Structures are given as structure tokens and as C-alpha cells.
Amino acid sequence: MSKASLLGALLGEADLSEANLNKANLCTADLVKANLSGADLRGADLRGCDLRKATLDRANLDEADLGGAILSGAVLRGASLKLSILSVPILSQEDLADAVMASAQAGLSGLSIADTGRATDLRGADLSQAVLSGADLRGCDLGEAVLWGAVLYGANLAEANLFQADLSEAIFGGAILSGANLSKAILRRAGFPLAILCGADLSEADLSGSWLIQAKLAGVNLGRAKLNGANLERSDLSRANLRSASITSEQLAQADSLVGAILPDGTIHE
């Protein structure tokens, strides 16, 4: 069915597993609860498609156009979405565990995948260079995910799990990461200007060369974190835990506030 025209087709609950739908026109099609496991949907037109509760495990959606598609409850474990267009999709309660979304250029700007009953599962997902500006990712599980070079201006990642995630060179300008778990995360050369990380866990994280200019880091756990070459100009490190962190006195002097902070040597700044 490569290049097939299925515009507006009624395919609810259909078994299309392993189907060849390369460059197929499925615009506005009804695929509710359809089985698309392992399907080849490369370059497919899925604009306005209803994929609620559809199964897309291992599906190849590279370069597919999902603009306006409804993906609520869809399962995309191991799916590939490289260079896919995901503008204004509806993705509440989806499971994207281990999904590959490298270079999703049209991005997920303004996307809302906030917890609506359970945390969104994006564990191990590859979102390299994805555009997630303004995305609502509160409470999402991004443990061990790859977000290298991702753009997250103004994104809300409060209470999100980013344990051991690779966030190298990602941009978090003005993002909210309050209470997020970034323990052992790789954040080399990442940018956090004006970001809010109050109460976040950054223990043993690698923040080498990162930009934390005017970042809100009150109460943050930076125990054993690597901050070599990090810029902390005008940041708020009040009540932060910096015990055994790799950071110089010159870097600490850049901060606006260190009141109550536990310094690398274990002493408390007054």
C-alpha cells in the first residue's frame, strides 16, 4: 500500500501490523485502536488523523506529517519519528517509551503532555535537537533520555524525572525545573539562563561549561556535581547543597546569593 490514498478512510481497530504505508495519504483517517505495530509510515500524511489508543510499537514514522493528529492513549514504544512534523498534536496519556524523535524540526512547540492520570513515559527516548519550547512536561519520566541540543525555552519540567539523561548543549532558557530529578544527568554546555531549578536534584550531574546565568537554584542539590567552567553569574544558590562539588571560589563569587548554602568543604555560608 505504498503511496496509497486512504484519505478519510475508516480503519478503526484495523490490523495494519507490518503494513507498507510509505508515503501513504492517511489524512483525517479514523485509526482509533488500529494495530500499526511495525508499520512503515515513512513520509506518510497523517494530518488530522485520529490515532486514539492505536498501537504503533516499532512503527517507522520518519518524516511523517502528524500535524493536528490525535494520539491520546497511543502506544509508540520503540517507534522512530526522525524529522517528523508534530505541530499541534494531541498526546495526552501516550506512552513513547524508547521512541526516537531525533531532529523533530517542526517540533513540539506548545505541546502539552502533562500528567493526566499517570506520568508520561519517555524513558530512553531520543529527542536530540527536538524543539520543545513551551512544552508542558510536568512529571514526565525522561530517565536516560537523550535530549542533546534540544530547545526547551519556557518549558515546564517541574517534578520531571531526568535521571542520567543526556542534556548536553540543550537550551533551557526560562524553563521551570523545580523539583526535577537531574541526578547524574549530563548537562555539558547546557544553557539555563533565567531558568527555575529550585529544589531540583542535580547530585553528581555533569554541568561542565554550562550557563546558569540568573538561574534560580535555591535549595538545589549539587552534591558531587561537576561545575568545571560553569557560568553562575547572578545565580541564586541560597540553601543549595554544594558538598564535594567541583567548583572554584571564583565561580561561587559570581552568585548573587549563597545564604545558607553548604559549600564544597561542608561549611555553611552565612
Query: 126, 168, 163, 160: which is closest to 144 by C-alpha?
Result: 163
Question: What confidence tens digit (pLDDT) does each residue in 66-78 have?
Answer: 777 777 667 767 6
Query: What distances in angstroms separate CA 233 from CA 145, 215, 216, one per listed residue?
Result: 29, 9, 11
For 61, the grid coordinates are 514514522
d(CA 246, CA 197): 19
Give the H or E element holding residue 250: helix 249-252
Contact 115, 136 (CB under 8 A): no
Question: What confidence tens digit (pLDDT) does each residue in 114-165 have?
Answer: 433 334 556 777 777 777 777 777 888 888 888 888 888 898 999 999 999 9
pLDDT of residue 97: 56
Which residue would you say has higher pLDDT here, 146 or 227? 227
pLDDT of residue 114: 41
Find the distance separating the first CA and the last CA of the chain, reported in whole Å. Answer: 70
> Is residue 181's pLDDT more than 50?
yes
